[in-house]
Chain A
Amino acid sequence: MRKSLQLVCLTALLLGAIRANAATHEAIPEGMARIPSGIYRPLFRSVTDPAEVRVNEFCLDTLLVTKGDFLEFVRTNPRWQRSQVKRIFADENYLRDWAGDLELGTNANPNQPVVFVSWFAAKAFAQWKGKRLPTTAEWELVAAASSTRADGENDPAFQQDILRWYSTPAAKELPVVGKSAANLWGIHDLHGLVWEWVADFNSAAVTGDVRNDTGLERQLFCGAGSVGAKDVRNFPAFMRYGFRSSLKANYCVHNLGFRCAKDL
């Protein structure tokens, strides 16, 4: 298991090296959009980490994985059904809002994003689809784009719009996917619907200040939270980093879903 995990991460992170021979005109899979290569500047990094991470072009699902999609997955992969899943791969909240192993419940809409899924489950789904989870760098690069520009983090109105989600009460019922406007790259619902798993969700913890070697998450707290941050005004990014750092890979949370990525 450990080896295969490393392999996935290696695959994800060393894309550039691996895909050197990849065909450049491969068709973009249905339901995905091509994301051009770009430069991601991590919010948190240590003095030894690079200020910039190059992200090679890849494909990303335009929509979040829905309950309907996930139902199909558990139907063909019984070990990921609610009553079958192993606790170390998903905590007791796994698919808690479903009515049963194969029933979404009468009030559920199959087009709602799937939530209450663990990182392991999200990763298994992605593999089943022949895809993978996006890395933090990939996800953040895509999510930085507003509907009109790639560098939305420099657009105060865009930032304030994202913050609005945190200032509104949790919706009683999750909206269905795809209702919000697509961003510059054609991707929907990156902000304002649910949080999203990424492949390396817990790596922010080690890109902090290495002089402070106690408490992996501690640099995200209090005033120290701004030490080493590249943009202390990017509150939404702080919150995403904070949220990811609070997770363990078997956690299942009511407002945490995912989408898949694929190498071109």
Chain B
Amino acid sequence: MTETPLIRLSDVSKVYHLESGDFTALDHVSLDIMENDFVAIMGPSGSGKSTMMNQLGILDVPTSGDLYIEGKNVKHMSTLERTHLRRDTIGYIFQKFYLIPLLSAYENVEYPLILKYKKRDATGRAAALLESVGIDREKSNHRPSQLSGGQQQRVAIARALVNDPKILLCDEPTGNLDRKTGIQIMDILVDLQKKGKTVILVTHDPKIAEYAHRTIQLEDGRIVES
């Protein structure tokens, strides 16, 4: 295949310098993720899943090796460029939802749009997205604390989608939800992948990983199976 991968990890290592000595969380990992892939990253706790997630989300930079997003090396980007890449190219869905507590559901979804366009949303995109994930108009005026876990995760998905990112990065998206709600959330993600998004799931739950087309197994910071 001559197509440029959307994400390429090339010999990426991440070493944390702790008082008890250096800890290698990722150990020379190489990995290509193509556009419209549905990838699950699995592994027991301590295997480097979170570190991998932080690398893919450009929340952190590799200690050594190179990470390319759309062919561009993250290492050579400024902090501001990385911030804009996070804003425009990646949608984050977290286990704990991480909605902004001071803002209503609607405002949480609108927020990344404001970050990008520096003005309030006049296109109705934020409202439409909320509706598409099943949050009605009345609920969208509620604060996150007034919503159930499933509702919060739906709001978080709408927020992740609002700037039309290529990549959806999901860190245990169903981890804080009951089974039934979890399945509903996974159905939304499957649907989004079908519509062209690249979905990366980080999970330790094999049942959730089954939704993915490709599973990468991590152990002690290395890929043991992919």
Say whether A and B bind each other: no
Q: Which B residues have a C-beta under 8 Å from some C-beta of A? A: none
Q: Which A residues have a C-beta under 8 Å from some C-beta of B? A: none
